[in-house]
Amino acid sequence: MLQGTCIDSDVLGAGETFYLFPAGTDYVYASRFPRKSAHTGCFPIDRFKVKEEVKTSEWPPEPPKRAVGIELNEVYVAKLVWCWEASKDRCDREYYVIARGSGSHVDYYPNPELEGLLGSLPVHWFENFRLAENLHAIESGETATELIPEVAIFHEEESLQFIEQLSLF
């Protein structure tokens, strides 16, 4: 990935800095963000004055999918070995996890009380599963976080109005 300044005001804003991604030998994708998918168009490279080559961090690839022998709705302690680069501060830590649904993903929590759900990640991103001690299995109908919305209670009787359903088509 390169970074450069546009020198042609007919193409983009002259003097504006863009991230440049190669598109063949003579063209580049110009983006205001360091992502090729957010480009504003494909332009000849001679319309830009290249400033510098931007080094991107080399994040390791996602581990291959593998079968993990854990029971559904049981609480385990497991180590998170891979996640997206944006969440890299969560890697290499142990979490309390519960396999849900088909068992391809787990919900993970920071504490044994299963409070503060951190998210749901693929099960193959974790390793070293061991059954958590002194924790009960969660029943299939039970949820770990009981967030029930409060019901609005009206003390006055609703007025009877004529409501007509309108259709756009």
**Would the pTM count as exceeding 0.85?**
no
In a domain, 97, yes or no: yes
Do 113 and 80 lie in one domain? The reply is yes
pLDDT tens track for 88-115: 888 899 999 998 877 888 999 999 888 8
DSSP string, 63-118: PPP------BT-EEEEEE----GGGGGGTTEEEEEEEETTTTEEEEESSTT--S--
**What is residue 95's predicted lDDT score, i.e. its pLDDT?**
94
* pLDDT tier, 160 (very low <50, low <70, confident <90, very high otherwise): low
Do 43 and 91 lie in one domain? The reply is no
Q: Match 């359903």 to its residue by tokens.
A: 165
pLDDT tens track for 69-80: 888 888 999 999
Task: Domain count for the chain, please give it.
Answer: 2
Highest mean pLDDT among 42-51, 59-68, 73-82, 134-143: 73-82
Which residue segment(s) compose the domain that 27 sits in? 2-51
Do 79 and 30 lie in one domain? The reply is no
